[in-house]
Amino acid sequence: MERELALELVRVTEAAAIASAQWQGRGKKIEADDAATTAMRNMFDSVNMDGIVVIGEGELDEAPMLYIGERLGTGMGPKVDIAVDPLEGTNIVAKGTNNAIAVIAAGDKGTLLHAPDMYMEKIAVGKNAAGKISLLDPIEKTIDIVAEANNKRVRDVTVIIQERERHEEIVERVRAKGAKVKFFGDGDVGAAIATCLPQTGIDLFIGIGGAPEGVISAAAIKALDGDMQARLLPQSQAEEERVIDMGLKEPRQLLTLNDLVSGDDAIFSATGVSDGELVDGVRFLGGDLVETTSIVMRSKTKTVRYIKAYHHLEHKPHLIVE
């Protein structure tokens, strides 16, 4: 992939973030998601690439745009797989709370796992513990490994877990071990990536969430030299058959970081919609001036850029929500 593509994808996530942020706190998650999806899809038309959506808003009959299999870009430039979540955290935006982002992952054609929309069990850590953890290990053993890798006492290890009933047992075991639990609500992409950013203070991510979000997270974690493992959790015979159709012989087999993102040149771009672990949210500064903060990274070069941009909506009327 060309290095220019990384910066072009930032323009796409910026557009989605600006459009959806205008629904912040209004209690209308569908409208927020529609605004993000429309803005993202329209901006893709100007990107020089021959892209195909492998993770998107749904199948062709479920989503009017950014559907799985849709071709994106001008058709000129690198052939790439695209994974999108125009608004990770629709409920977050509706409630006006933190950690909503617009996010894209891209990889050379055929390198992103075509994860179906089902549950996935995941674990993620930063660079120091990379190669040392296993999703199959008891959580108590993993905490010891992460504590040693990060040169911390167990009591100082922070494990980030989505606040859901299905995680009650793991929360009890983490606390019984003596480590700290940090809860998050919706959207686990930012939570998984936070393990790779020392300034967050988060050492370990574990839990069950969406499979598409797992692949998107993996693209960033690979760029940050972290580590991630996962396994799909099909809930029905139909879901098991879909996993097998993807090419996995065993529906619940352990998936490594390289299984999730097999190439060495993945790009991840996220723009904050509301303030969060990764980036600040959209700021409406008065008049038509808007500030966005994005993070973009590329696994081939290990480059991580934080981009603060100022936008005049006077020149972007297509992003204005009435």
Task: Give the tens place of pLDDT for each residue, 42-81.
Answer: 999 999 999 999 999 887 677 889 999 999 999 999 999 9
Question: Which superfamily, per CATH, for 3-110+265-319?
Answer: Fructose-1,6-Bisphosphatase, subunit A, domain 1 (3.30.540.10)
The pLDDT confidence band at residue 300, using thresholds 50, 70 and 90, is very high
Tell me which DSSP letter residue 156 carries: G
Mean pLDDT of 137-147: 98
The first and second tokens of residue 94, run together, are 């509706």
The first and second tokens of residue 307, run together, are 């981009």
The first and second tokens of residue 270, run together, are 């996220």
Q: Where are the domains of the chain?
A: 3-110+265-319, 119-260
Annotated binding site for Mn(2+): 33, 57, 85, 88, 213
DSSP string across 159-223: EEEE--GGGHHHHHHHHHHT-EEEEE-S--HHHHHHTT-GGG---EEEEEEEHHHHHHHHHHHHH
| Contact present, 51 and 308 (Cβ < 8 Å) | no
Annotated binding site: 33, 57, 85, 88-90, 119, 164-166, 186-188, 210, 213
Annotated binding site for substrate: 88-90, 119, 164-166, 186-188, 210
The pLDDT confidence band at residue 248, using thresholds 50, 70 and 90, is confident
Q: What is the pLDDT of residue 226?
A: 97
Q: What CATH number does the domain located at 119-260 have?
A: 3.40.190.90
Residue 294 Cα distances to 131, 147, 204, 213, 225, angstroms = 28, 30, 23, 18, 20
Q: Could you give the 3-state DSSP secondary structure of residue 127?
A: helix
Task: Give the tens place of pLDDT for each residue, 176-211.
Answer: 999 999 999 888 899 999 999 988 999 999 999 999
Looking only at Cα atoms, what is the longest distance across the chain? 56
* Ranges 56-65, 190-199, 220-229, 293-302: which has the least confidence: 56-65
